[in-house]
């Protein structure tokens, strides 16, 4: 996840082409085709370049286009619905622009908790969990989800067999069941005990708001129906177990929120795919601030955002998971796998 793409620091054509090649390829054929179509169309690229830099990001513009009618359905001679995208960006640009300016890419993927949980489970509880960039708070509820972990390379390893584990909440199996493959990472032995939880977001999302739920669903890339189903189930859990999410800038709000955590709980600050939207100066400020807090820090961000793993190929989409500012694993951006870094 390249901050220069998502902060609009590159020319639009360059940013969208890199997004297609590095982030969408192999994940969403539709978004790869759509991003390349924009990169190759000077008129569309110029139109997007008129947006504020932080609003030019492909995730946001493509989601807004879908919100206003761009249809990824295949058609004769147009397998990815690129013609529908072009028409929407040309004929409904004022609507798309208004949505881009009013909304944000708050991809609240509950499955990211699967790569965090093996490390959360090692922390002495009870835990006071704080998430920055919390959106609807779905990643603040790992102890309400069920997990199926496998440590073998074969995804067909039967549940309960050698090298696999199912972990359910104390109350029983959850409607959200998350599969994750671990490589050289110990299986979690228990659910973490989370006694208190809260989040921070510039634009908190109410899990009970149908419009907000529809937007979160639109942010899921075409072809990822499993993620959409999981989002629906996770929002249901969030409605049953409301989480405190304060509105504010993380650099301003985090210290005060951390002070409200109960003193008899271990503070854990976490975030996933958030730091890429910060400037280099603000990323440095985040590191200084969180490192000064008591407790622990779990970050899950793109390579070269907070930490650089030099051996990673540019085409490798995985995030770097760090514990207390030390890189520990390479993880799938949507929580399907985690591989320990050498010596971690």
Q: Which domains does the chain have, with CATH numbers?
A: 3-102 (no CATH), 110-340 (3.40.50)
305 has a pLDDT exceeding 80: yes
Average pLDDT over residues 99-121: 91
pLDDT the model gives residue 156 = 52
Count Cβ atoms within 10 A of the Cβ of residue 294 and give its class: 0-12 exposed, 13-18 middle, 19 or more buried: exposed
pLDDT the model gives residue 3 = 65
Distance CA 329, CA 299 (A): 11
Distance CA 161, CA 303 (A): 33
Average pLDDT over residues 305-318: 81
Residue 150: half-sphere exposure toward Cβ, Cα within 13 Å = 15
Whole-prediction pTM value? 0.87
264-278: pLDDT as tens digits = 999 999 999 888 888
315 has a pLDDT exceeding 80: no
- Report residue 217 CA to chain centroid gap: 13
145 has a pLDDT exceeding 80: yes
Average pLDDT over residues 167-179: 95
Residue 340 CB coordination number (10 Å):
16
Distance CA 216, CA 229 (A): 12
Distance CA 322, CA 344 (A): 10
CB 199 within 8 A of CB 130: yes
Distance CA 71, CA 94 (A): 18
Average pLDDT, the chain: 90
8 has a pLDDT exceeding 90: no
In terms of Cα–Cα distance, which of 45, 29, 6, 43 is closest to 82? 29
200 or 224: whose pLDDT is higher?
200
23 has a pLDDT exceeding 60: yes
pLDDT the model gives residue 7 = 74
pLDDT the model gives residue 122 = 93
- Report residue 23 CA to chain centroid gap: 13
Structure tokens of 114?
């699967």
pLDDT band of 26, cuts 50, 70, 90? confident
pLDDT the model gives residue 309 = 86
223-243: pLDDT as tens digits = 888 899 999 999 999 999 999
CB 286 within 8 A of CB 259: no
CB 110 within 8 A of CB 138: yes
pLDDT the model gives residue 9 = 77
- SS3 category, 293: coil
In terms of Cα–Cα distance, which of 242, 227, 256 is closest to 335? 227
CB 58 within 8 A of CB 31: yes
């Amino acid at each position: 996840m390249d901050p220069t793409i998502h902060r609009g620091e590159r020319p639009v054509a360059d940013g969208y082409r890199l997004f297609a090649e590095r982030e969408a390829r192999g994940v969403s054929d539709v978004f790869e085709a759509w991003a390349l179509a924009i990169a190759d169309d000077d008129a569309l690229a110029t139109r997007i370049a008129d947006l504020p830099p932080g609003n030019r990001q492909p995730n946001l513009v493509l989601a807004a286009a879908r919100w206003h009618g761009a249809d990824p359905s295949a058609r004769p001679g147009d397998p990815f619905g690129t013609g529908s995208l072009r028409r929407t960006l040309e004929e409904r640009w004022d609507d798309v622009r208004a949505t881009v300016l009013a909304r944000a890419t708050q991809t609240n993927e509950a499955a990211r908790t699967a790569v965090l949980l093996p490390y959360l489970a090692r922390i002495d509880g009870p835990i006071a969990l704080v998430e920055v960039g919390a959106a609807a708070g779905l990643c603040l509820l790992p102890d309400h989800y069920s997990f199926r972990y496998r440590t073998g390379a074969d995804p067909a390893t039967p549940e309960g067999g050698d090298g696999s584990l199912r972990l359910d909440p104390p109350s029983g199996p959850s409607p959200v069941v998350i599969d994750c493959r671990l490589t050289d990472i110990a299986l979690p032995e228990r659910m973490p005990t989370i006694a208190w939880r809260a989040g921070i977001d510039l634009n908190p999302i109410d899990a009970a708001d149908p419009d907000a739920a529809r937007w979160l669903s639109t942010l899921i890339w075409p072809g990822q129906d499993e993620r959409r189903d999981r989002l629906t189930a996770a929002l249901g859990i969030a409605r049953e177990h409301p989480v405190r999410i304060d509105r504010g800038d993380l650099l301003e709000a985090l210290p005060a929120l951390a002070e409200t955590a109960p003193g008899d709980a271990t503070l854990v600050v976490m975030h996933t795919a958030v730091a890429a939207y910060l400037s280099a100066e603000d990323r440095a400020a985040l590191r200084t601030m969180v490192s000064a807090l008591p407790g622990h820090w779990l970050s899950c961000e793109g390579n070269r955002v907070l930490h650089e793993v030099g051996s990673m190929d540019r085409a490798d989409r995985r995030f770097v998971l760090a514990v207390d500012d030390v890189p520990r694993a390479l993880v799938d951006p949507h929580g399907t796998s985690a591989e320990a870094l050498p010596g971690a």
